[in-house]
Amino acid sequence: MKALLTTMMAALLLAAAPAWAGGEPERLALFQRGTIFHSGLTHTHTIALTFDDGPNAHTAEVLDALKELGVKATFFIVGNQAHRHPDILARIAREGHLLANHSATHALLGASYDAQPERLIAQVRDVDEQIAPLMRPGEPRFFRAPYGSWKYAHQGILNADPELRKYIGPIYWDVGGQISMTRDGYVMSAADWTCWRKGWSPHTCAKGYTREIRRKDGGVVLMHCIQVNSAALVREVVPPLLEEGYRFIRLDQNPEYRQYETPPAKPAKPRGEADARTAPLRLTALRPEDMR
Ligand SMILES: [Zn+2]
């Protein structure tokens, strides 16, 4: 029994030991080794709308729609788009939405980036340099990988940078990833870019979004803000959910992500004092679903 207990303790310690334990044990890595799939928002009647790939001319219509509906969202910005539309980028922040990072060129961040770390850093830094001055001090910075592509080694490269290690990511989504239908053509879920490619109307596409949101009772919702139908989709999806009492939040209002934040500069702590904040968080920072 004692041997079994010892084995179990050892396994637990191994599981709890973070990769960065050799350096500063109480520091959390922010860019994670695996994509952050778990949002904690499903079954909470809470929705975080996220708009990728902007800004462009159609983003302004999305901002108009959100303003009329009184909803705040998170915008994952592509650097080269932002260089072309700095006024719309500034408007996103000004209207109370959260700016976030979706790489400079919407690059597929494969293993080749690990051989040339400066290329990976440049992909994140370009957007960071554009959005950080528009963000409020202390606002958390989120990253979403284009195409959801992420490699284990990326976090080590990015967390070694004193600015970029302030990022939380890569952030995935719960709703909006794909179209699914029943055999008799009932739309169960939708993904906006596929809807438009199929020639669906915003009304039909919205059915997929609202049904998936209702089934999951909330979640991080993936949309795009750069297509001619983007604003119409927002106007179809959001009003019925507001009527049903759903709460709309920005990603920085999601408590689930706090475990990935950079702790503030190390405070002098009396020896032996239990750290209630970091101790349990280290265990949860490496959940199996984050390692996929
Ligand atoms: Zn994208």
Q: Which residues surround ligand 1, an ion (CB under 5 A)?
A: 52-53, 146
Please indicate whether residue 15 or residue 113 has the higher confidence score (pLDDT). 113
Give 108 Cα–ligand 1 centroid separation in angstroms: 10
Give 12 Cα–ligand 1 centroid separation in angstroms: 37
Give 52 Cα–ligand 1 centroid separation in angstroms: 5
| Rg of the chain (C-alpha set) | 20
Give 31 Cα–ligand 1 centroid separation in angstroms: 18
Banded model confidence at residue 138, pLDDT cuts 50, 70, 90: confident
Instruction: Find the mean pLDDT for residues 32-36.
Output: 93
Checking if the pLDDT of 286 tops 70, the result is: no
Checking if the pLDDT of 9 tops 50, the result is: no
pLDDT of residue 287: 37
Q: Which helix (H) or strand (E) holds 101?
A: strand 98-101
- 96-134: b (≥16 Cβ within 10 Å) or e: ebbbbbbbbeebebeeebbeebeebbbbbbbbbebbbeb
Checking if the pLDDT of 16 tops 50, the result is: no
Give 261 Cα–ligand 1 centroid separation in angstroms: 23
Residues pairing with 218 in the sheet: 46
Please state the domain extents for the chain.
Answer: 31-174+219-228+246-254
Give 110 Cα–ligand 1 centroid separation in angstroms: 15
Give 102 Cα–ligand 1 centroid separation in angstroms: 7
Give 184 Cα–ligand 1 centroid separation in angstroms: 31
Instruction: Say if residues 47 and 41 touch (Cβ distance below 8 Å).
Output: yes
Give 215 Cα–ligand 1 centroid separation in angstroms: 25
CA–CA separation, 280 and 235 (whole Å): 41
Banded model confidence at residue 262, pLDDT cuts 50, 70, 90: confident
pLDDT of residue 275: 40
Give 105 Cα–ligand 1 centroid separation in angstroms: 10
Q: Where are the beta strands (DSSP E) in 120-242?
A: 141-142, 167-171, 180-181, 187-189, 218-224
Checking if the pLDDT of 274 tops 50, the result is: no
Does CATH number 3.20.20.370 belong to domain 31-174+219-228+246-254?
yes
Question: Using one digit for the tens of pLDDT, what is the confidence trace for 70-105?
Answer: 999 999 999 999 999 999 999 999 999 999 999 999
Reported pTM: 0.82
pLDDT of residue 278: 36
Question: Using one digit for the tens of pLDDT, what is the confidence trace for 148-169?
Answer: 999 999 999 999 999 999 999 9
CA-CA-CA-CA torsion sign (71, 259, 131, 135): positive
% of the chain exceeding 90 in pLDDT: 77
Q: Which of 23-37, 67-81, 113-127 has the lowest mean pLDDT?
A: 23-37
Give 78 Cα–ligand 1 centroid separation in angstroms: 8
pLDDT of residue 69: 98
CA–CA separation, 104 and 259 (whole Å): 26
Please indicate whether residue 16 or residue 197 has the higher confidence score (pLDDT). 197
pLDDT of residue 51: 98
Give 88 Cα–ligand 1 centroid separation in angstroms: 18
Give 7 Cα–ligand 1 centroid separation in angstroms: 44
pLDDT of residue 270: 53
Give 147 Cα–ligand 1 centroid separation in angstroms: 6
Instruction: Find the mean pLDDT for residues 128-144.
Output: 95
Which backbone phi and psi does 245 adopt, to 5 degrees? 85, 15
**What DSSP designation does 175 have?**
B
Average pLDDT, the chain: 86
Give 146 Cα–ligand 1 centroid separation in angstroms: 5
Give 81 Cα–ligand 1 centroid separation in angstroms: 12
Give 222 Cα–ligand 1 centroid separation in angstroms: 10
